[in-house]
Structure 1
Amino acid sequence: MTRFLLIRHAATELLDQRIAGRMTGIHLSSVGRAQAERLAQQLATREIGTIYSSPQARARETAMALADNREARIRVADELDEIDYGDWTGRTFEELSGISEWRAFNAVRSCARIPNGEFMPDVQARAIGLMERLCKLHSGLTVTLVSHADVIRFALAHCLGMPLDFLLRLEISPASISTVAMDLYGPRVLCINYHQRAISDHEFF
């Protein structure tokens, strides 16, 4: 059995304001850096194995916080990259709310294609393809994947047998951990969206 820690990168200044997508130069905010440090402390006594990160700076910075003071290796994996948001990259959510294509995108992810961007089933396929390869490469070990909210949602949806149109029913917070175990019999979801703040703020209870 291979255990995957699916970690969303910590917060940036654009969080909940704009589609960051694959814009360059998007780094963790001061809040995000603190989140990443807290996450690293939470995992300090846990086995995290090899770390695979999205190529985006915000994900790599989160991965580096996890790798600090331990011998974990960080490898960049394009399969964990943020969705290519095409023409919507950099747009505010307020701007997008008035666009019919955006509303359709969020209603029917199973057949949604972003203008000059990615087809959503392709995003799921690349994420799951990576996990299946790593399951064999790191058989019996723990592997950490640092990625983005929707990419993690796609992976979890596959593991749960959930239709892509229900994707937004899964909450994936910044610097959160979701855990999946995979073996020859398939995936098992062990945890979704764990983060320390959720416990203190009673989000789960």
Structure 2
Amino acid sequence: MATVILLRHARSTANGSAVLAGRQPGVALDDTGVGQAARLPDRLSALPLAALVTSPLERCQQTLRPLAEARGMTPVVEPELAEVDYGDWTGRALKDLVEEPLWRVVQQHPSAAVFPGGEGLASVQARAVAALRAHDARITAEHGQDSVWVACSHGDVIKAVLADALGAHLDAFQRIVVDPCSVSVIRYTETRPFVLRINDNGGDLAGVVPPKPSPEQAGAEAARADGSDAVIGGSTGTP
């Protein structure tokens, strides 16, 4: 299957406001975020991107815009990658939310958390993973097994996806850190995902492109044709 770069949107006006913005309209990138987005074309320049997919919210589309313009690509809008629907919590100050009984559930038992008037975190994970797998299958069919693509979404959504890819219970997803404009990388296969990066804030990403096997490796590659098997003894890395 292809390789997906999970990109959290760049820093927004809501990130430093101590308010849970959720799906509120009008949340755009702040000056720092605009700068982060502007650096994405150079940061991802070594990657032959096959597709761009984005949450419908403004801050994600704004984050991808410089990259899309540099590559001459049009992002596909995917509603299932939207921010969590926090329902009645949307727009409320975090200092008030920490007093709510549900806050402890969100922190310690998130798989049971359902936001009043909104959705549950377990549902968020299910919708996001299903959407990513569907796009990954489509992109693989169109562009091949070695293709790389970008999906721009939100912090809690990406954390939930990473927990699934790591085989961790959703209750562990609060242990994962996903900063604004960070990238995390997953390669899905027939039977399991491989997590290549988490919360990368500026490292060399060239290594996430699947390397072409040498003649000596070709037999082993054929033996695990769908790429689902892990390398015994560990990966040899990128030459």
Question: TM above 0.5, one fold?
Answer: yes
Q: Pairwise mapping of residues 33-112 of structure 1 onto structure 2 (< 5 A)?
A: 33-112=34-113
Contact 2:41 2:66 in 1 (8 A): yes
Contact 2:6 2:184 in 1 (8 A): yes
Runs of at least 4 residues off by over 6 Å: none
Aligned length: 197
Alpha-carbon separation, structure 1, partners of 2:109 and 2:54: 28
TM-aligned CA deviation for residue 40 of structure 1? 2.5
Alpha-carbon separation, structure 2, partners of 1:95 and 1:44: 43
RMSD of aligned residue pairs (Cα, Å)? 1.3
The answer to whether 1:192 aligns with 2:198 is yes
Q: Secondary structure at the match of 1:136?
A: helix
Alpha-carbon separation, structure 2, partners of 1:113 and 1:40: 37
Alpha-carbon separation, structure 2, partners of 1:138 and 1:65: 22
Match of 1:180 among 165, 176, 186: 186
Contact 2:47 2:148 in 1 (8 A): no
TM-aligned CA deviation for residue 95 of structure 1? 1.3
% identity of equivalent residues: 35
The one-letter code of the counterpart of 2:154 is H
The one-letter code of the counterpart of 1:103 is R
The answer to whether 1:121 aligns with 2:122 is yes
Partner of 1:13: 13
Partner of 1:202: none
The one-letter code of the counterpart of 1:190 is L
Q: Secondary structure at the match of 1:31?
A: helix
Contact 1:105 1:114 in 2 (8 A): no
Alpha-carbon separation, structure 1, partners of 2:184 and 2:134: 19
Alpha-carbon separation, structure 1, partners of 2:40 and 2:72: 17
Match of 2:151 among 145, 154, 163: 145
Choose 1 or 2 for highest CA Rg.
2
Partner of 1:200: none
Q: Secondary structure at the match of 2:184?
A: strand
TM-aligned CA deviation for residue 70 of structure 1? 1.0
Alpha-carbon separation, structure 1, partners of 2:36 and 2:30: 10
Alpha-carbon separation, structure 2, partners of 1:126 and 1:143: 19
In structure 1, stretches of 5+ residues that fail to align are: 198-205
Partner of 2:237: none
TM-aligned CA deviation for residue 117 of structure 1? 0.8
The one-letter code of the counterpart of 2:6 is L
TM-aligned CA deviation for residue 183 of structure 1? 1.8
Q: Given the two structures, how large is their TM-score scaled by the length of structure 1? A: 0.92
Alpha-carbon separation, structure 1, partners of 2:67 and 2:50: 11
Q: Secondary structure at the match of 1:150?
A: helix
Match of 1:160 among 166, 186, 203: 166
TM-aligned CA deviation for residue 166 of structure 1? 1.1
Which protein, 1 or 2, shows the higher relative CO under an 8 Å CA cutoff with sep ≥ 6? Answer: 1
TM-aligned CA deviation for residue 48 of structure 1? 2.4
TM-aligned CA deviation for residue 68 of structure 1? 1.9
1:47-75 per-position Cα deviation (integer Å, ceiling 9, x unaligned):
22211100100000011122122122201
Alpha-carbon separation, structure 2, partners of 1:164 and 1:70: 35
1:56-100 per-position Cα deviation (integer Å, ceiling 9, x unaligned):
000000111221221222011001000000011011111111111
Partner of 2:137: 136
Partner of 1:23: 24
TM-aligned CA deviation for residue 165 of structure 1? 1.0
